[in-house]
Amino acid sequence: MATSKPQVSPELSKHYSARMVAVFRYGSLAIAGIGFIQAVIFAALGSWVVVAMELSAFVGGLAIYFLIRRGHLAFGILAGQAALMAIAITMGLILDVPTADAPRISHLYLLVLAALGYLNYQRGKSRAQLVLIGLCLLAFIVLASAPLTSPFVVLPDMARTIGTWANAVMATTLLAVCIHAMQAEFNRKDKFSRDLMTALWNDEFQLAYQPQVDLSQNTIGAEALLRWNSPKRGAVSPVEFIPQAEELGLMVAIGGWVLEQGCRTLAEWSKNPLFRHLSLSINVSASQLMHRDFEAFVRDTLVKTRANPHRLILELTESVLVTDIDLVIAKLDGLRELGITIALDDFGTGYSSLSYLRRLPIQQVKIDRSFVQDAVNSSVSASLVKNVVLMSRDLGHTVLAEGVETIEQHALLARFGCIEFQGYFYGKPMALADFEQRIEARIKRLA
């Protein structure tokens, strides 16, 4: 993979660039450093209340640095902002009150915090982040406008005057850095978005085909998995680019390409007696499904390519369930009327509740790799998988076990009642020609 990876969990790397993580990480170290230096200065001046505050900034900065290092970036950022906001407000209210010689200055940091919050909000939209931005701005307005005085005049005038200049320079510099980071972030998104669109026009996408097998390990179909071979970025994993494409609103176009390509393959297979029986599973993202014209697009693609809808399986993840469930059901009913099979992908990893399993018009449940792999090691996971299989079968769904890597996993899942399987044990995702050759070779061997 040619793209650089930040040293945080893969989950986070989807949303935060390496540069962004570095900004937050070293920013928190800088806060700790400034807190420490100021603590030493004020200790020399004997202002122990200020020393205590600076030390809390030092400890807070370090805590956030380690939170981010351990992968808790989103929480670390919010916690950091909240702590810094509390420090800035306390400083502004108690110690840094305006006098004839020195204006109030610490409230400038609240603008920096609001800008940082906005930057973070662009990455991961959350209500907590919006509230924090609002509080920072509100506190800024109050501290900038209200003639608040304090009974604690603990700082000598000289320290106040030097501090005013130093803090004004620091806050302005940080604000400028935030604005630069915001600009860089918008540019990065824009560039990624353009690269993805170009990829679509330049045929940089391909489909890989991973075999799906029955109990006797005969290939009964394949899952089409998207691959992006970018001349600039190298082979980019779908785990990395699909969430970003989704965020940029490009998954409808890219997913449309996948569906059309997959249907062309199905149409070709229907002409060949060796491949006629094969089904093809295609992943559909939530934004694609919820698009107003999705059902019409699928119908038109089937007509255009002459693919057999009875061999087409559309895989949906549980992420579609957070949206309007009745609308999802209506859409799935429409697709079923075309003869298409609907599968629930990654079952057990998301929002799935058993009631959804009952309500949704699905015919196949794909048990997630994590369950399959845990089932051989833990009796709790094993009984969970067993019950999911039993329940799905009671509801009339077929159950496909995903991510099977060993014969032990295959045997256990077959014993639990799985009748379809997919995983490295049977075959990794491969080019179409290799997939077809594999089937031809098996048939020749049997003949």
Instruction: State the residues that interact with ligand C2E by CB under 6 A.
Output: 210, 225-226, 237-239, 242, 255, 258, 283, 285, 345-346, 369, 403-405, 423-424, 429
Query: Min. distance of Cβ 348 from Ca ion in angstroms?
Result: 10
Question: How open is the CA angle 156-158-161, to the nearest 5 degrees?
Answer: 110
Query: Min. distance of Cβ 399 from ligand C2E in angstroms?
Result: 15
Q: Out of Ca ion, ligand C2E, none, which partner does residue 365 contact, by CB within 5 to 8 A per kind?
A: none
Query: Min. distance of Cβ 42 from ligand C2E in angstroms?
Result: 53
Q: Out of Ca ion, ligand C2E, none, which partner does residue 92 contact, by CB within 5 to 8 A per kind?
A: none
- For the chain, give the number of residues: 447
E strands, 113-218, are: 205-214
| Complex with Ca ion: residue 314 or 382, whichever CB lies closer | 314
The burial of 416, by beta-carbon neighbours within 10 Å (0-12 exposed, 13-18 middle, 19 or more buried), is given as buried
Longest distance between any two alpha carbons in the chain, whole Å: 99
| Complex with ligand C2E: residue 37 or 239, whichever CB lies closer | 239
Instruction: Find the helix packing angle between 251-270 and 238-247, rounded to 10°.
Output: 120
Query: Min. distance of Cβ 223 from Ca ion in angstroms?
Result: 6
CA 134 → CA 105, 112, 138, 173, 288, distances in Å? 20, 13, 6, 22, 34
Query: Min. distance of Cβ 313 from ligand C2E in angstroms?
Result: 12
| C-alpha closest to that of 375 among 418, 343, 427, 344 | 418
Q: Note whether 359 and 325 are within 8 A (CB).
A: yes
| Complex with ligand C2E: residue 348 or 429, whichever CB lies closer | 429
Q: Out of ligand C2E, Ca ion, none, which partner does residue 96 contact, by CB within 5 to 8 A per kind?
A: none
| Complex with ligand C2E: residue 120 or 210, whichever CB lies closer | 210
The burial of 41, by beta-carbon neighbours within 10 Å (0-12 exposed, 13-18 middle, 19 or more buried), is given as middle
| Complex with ligand C2E: residue 85 or 367, whichever CB lies closer | 367
Query: Min. distance of Cβ 25 from Ca ion in angstroms?
Result: 32
Q: Out of Ca ion, ligand C2E, none, which partner does residue 238 contact, by CB within 5 to 8 A per kind?
A: ligand C2E
| C-alpha closest to that of 343 among 332, 354, 359 | 332
Query: Min. distance of Cβ 135 from Ca ion in angstroms?
Result: 41
Q: Out of ligand C2E, Ca ion, none, which partner does residue 35 contact, by CB within 5 to 8 A per kind?
A: none
Q: Note whether 248 and 192 are within 8 A (CB).
A: yes
| Complex with Ca ion: residue 242 or 412, whichever CB lies closer | 242
| Complex with Ca ion: residue 92 or 348, whichever CB lies closer | 348
Q: Out of ligand C2E, Ca ion, none, which partner does residue 163 contact, by CB within 5 to 8 A per kind?
A: none
Q: Out of Ca ion, ligand C2E, none, which partner does residue 410 contact, by CB within 5 to 8 A per kind?
A: none
Query: Min. distance of Cβ 286 from ligand C2E in angstroms?
Result: 9
Distance CA 90, CA 60 (A): 15
Amino acid at 13: S
List of residues contacting Ca ion (CB under 5 A): 283, 315, 345-346, 402
CA 288 → CA 255, 285, 294, 300, 306, distances in Å? 7, 5, 7, 15, 21
Q: Out of Ca ion, ligand C2E, none, which partner does residue 403 contact, by CB within 5 to 8 A per kind?
A: ligand C2E
Residue nearest to ligand C2E (CB): 423
Chain-centroid distance of CA 148 in Å reads 44
Which helix (H) or strand (E) element contains residue 399? Answer: strand 398-401
Distance CA 256, CA 282 (A): 11
| Complex with ligand C2E: residue 138 or 239, whichever CB lies closer | 239
